[in-house]
Structure 1
Amino acid sequence: MIGETRATFGGVGTRVLSVKGNGTPVVLLHGYADSADTWRAVLSRLEAMGRQAVAVDLPGFGRADRRGPGPLLSQFDAFADALLAEIGPVIVVGNSLGAATAVRAATRNPELVAALVAMDDPLNARHWIAKLARKRAVPAGFWSGVARIPVPARTLRWLTVNAVPRVLYGPGASVDPDVVAYWSGLVSRASDVATLGRDAFRYAHEALGTHRDVRIGCPTVVVHGARDRIIPVNASRILHQQISGSEFVVLSRSGHCPQLDDPDAVVRLIIRIGAAA
């Protein structure tokens, strides 16, 4: 059974999903605008294998406290450092924003990270969207304009229901209706879309070049879904080259969130890399 509690890390109150077990704890960090719920299938499988694990809502997402004013990157970093200090050493597993946060945390806290799994990390992406974000080519007024677009809530809901399976999952994957419901509730107004877009571009600009100096000595596997429609596979290939001794794995059936469409493969990777720690 997956337990649900509240905890505070680095002054940020958050929700913690956990399963009991043995071995080095597994910490699961979700992607941008997502929540700890994305890891439920992975948590259930780890519990069945007798492994202890936790998934948390990152600051400003899910049911965590709102982020404070100022830069986003430092807030995610401080939260991750406090989390590791509380329960480390751990096996850290991250997806997308969570992967970037995990890589950075492992660099700063080598004594607290026994092994690392980074899935679909976005920071080395070089496609046109990434270039726009890094150059701040989208003016602030653009997002204000998006927020004022009179899009009916029903239309946004329809767009989300149709987009989520294509954006997050690989082709032909079984889509969890709870995942669709979460994202539908997240973007019920045009202003929600504007806020998410603005902060995503802010984060991308703040994180520019931060993986160039990664120093990770623990066993590491860099993972990417071959069917990812958000971040090109080459972004993870570059990260693999940046982390000396890492393993690179492409999951042929997966999209941007392998924990959703191939949790069995994700768990196998966690167990294997954990055994090498």
Structure 2
Amino acid sequence: MTTSSRIEERTALVAGFRTRLLEVGGSAAPGTGGAPLLLLHGYSDSADTWRRVLALLADRGQRAVAIDLPGFGAADRLRPDEPMLDQYVRIVHAASTALWGDEAPILVGNSMGGAVALRCAQEEPSPAGVVPIGPAGFDHPAWFGVIEQQPLLRWALSDAMPVPSPVLRAATSRIYKQLAYGDPSRARREDTDAFASHFRSARDVRRLLATGRRLKNELVDPFELHRIVCPVLLVWGERDRMVTCRGSRHLLAAIPDARYERLDGVGHCPQLEVPELVCDLLTGFRSALRAGDWDATDVGREPLELAA
């Protein structure tokens, strides 16, 4: 990808899982620019979804790491004898400690990663703040049904004939473009190709769907939001087809001090569709926390307007 020259990519062993980290700002001194950011991807995705945001953060001298969560990307598979979300909470805590010691990070998560960030915020030690972006786990988790009903996916998994890897990747890329973006014309070929690269065979897709069925059951009423005491910046694409932004009402009712940014015209993965805006929101959130002037009175203001 064109952003890779600014990003350090390495493997790491975290809580017993081998995984991959994408890191920027590693040479910055602790406290420079505020708390570090730990970026968590969504279901079926990988740390690659954050490359554009990472490159922008690198330009601003910010410290940030994106991680492949087990079961996805280049990471080991999850253990079958423990709930997925519980494993992810432990992994995120272990990664934070290994990377930054006692310095609390800001957790930023998209979709499933947003649910993981919120679950982590319920535990001790608390992160410096959380930024759930289109988080899963609110209302009925209909996102999985949307995926399973895709005609291209059902065709690719049919036993009528084997589907060549290039055809499967092309179909996966097309589905991702339709579901992840509010405006598919904003999709960049390198981003959709990076997503599709993890699916080389129908076996990969079947394994992913099995993981999704397992996760779906855990995303029914997964939170105890009253336990969250750190600042929360909720970000949601108004055109999110996977996890409707109507779910925001649950979080805002439970955490009155949360701030809500609804992104008009944007879909499920703002980090891909409007990475500059996401970077602005993250650096603004971090600056506010560093200055100690986080203000919940911004809740309820007019949503941001974006060009279609």
TM bucket, shorter chain: 0.7 to 0.9
Deviation of 1:32 (Å): 0.9
Name the counterpart of 2:13: 8
TM-score between both structures, scaled by the size of structure 2: 0.78
Q: Name whichever of 31-40 and 4-13 sits farther off.
A: 4-13
Tell me the residue number matched to 1:187. Answer: 199
Distance 1:127 1:105, change over 3 A: closer
Structure 1 residues 190 and 150: CA distance shift in structure 2, 3 A: farther
Counterpart residue identity of residue 95, structure 1: N
Q: 155-164 or 63-72: which moved more?
A: 155-164
User: CA 1:128 to 1:31, structure 2 compared with 1: closer, same or farther past 3 Å?
Assistant: closer
Name the CA distance, whole Å, in 2 between partners of 1:129 and 1:149. Answer: 27
Alignment of 1:36-55 (within 5 A): 36-55=47-66
Q: Which amino acid is 1:2 matched to? A: I
- Asked whether the equivalents of residues 165 and 175 of structure 1 are also in contact (C-alpha less than 8 Å), the reply is yes
Correspondence list, 1:205-220, <5 A = 205-220=217-232
Q: Which blocks of at least 5 consecutive residues in structure 1 are unaligned?
A: 133-142
For residue 168 of structure 2, what is the aligned residue in structure 1? 156
- With the length of structure 1 as denominator, give the TM-score of the two structures: 0.86
Matched, 1:29 2:36: no
Alpha-carbon offset, residue 130 of structure 1: 6.5
1:61 aligns with 2:61: no
Partner secondary structure for residue 124 of structure 1: coil
Counterpart CA distance in 2 for 1:112 and 1:54 is 18
Whole-angstrom distance in 1 between the partners of 2:200 and 2:139: 28
**C-alpha displacement of 1:74:** 2.1
Alignment-mate amino acid for residue 30 of structure 1: H
Q: How far, CA to CA, are the matches of 1:149 and 1:194 in structure 2?
A: 16
> Quick one: which amino acid aligns to residue 12 of structure 1?
F
Q: Is the 8 A contact 1:84 1:112 kept in 2?
A: no
Amino acid at match of 1:5: R
**Aligned partners of 1:221, 1:117: CA distance in 2, in Å?**
5
CA distance in 2, matches of 1:216, 1:204: 23
Deviation at 1:172, TM superposition (A): 4.7
Aligned partner of 1:255 among 253, 256, 267: 267
More strand by share: 1
Counterpart-to-counterpart distance in 2, 1:164 and 1:257: 10
Q: Which runs of 5+ in 2 are unaligned?
A: 1-5, 147-153, 290-308
Shift of the 164–223 alpha-carbon distance from structure 1 to 2, 3 Å rule, reads same
Question: 1:102 is aligned with what amino acid?
Answer: A
Identical columns (%): 34
2:110 pairs with 1:99: no
Aligned length: 265
Cα deviation 1:41-60 (Å, max 9, x = unaligned): 11111111121111111112
Q: CA deviation at 1:207?
A: 3.1
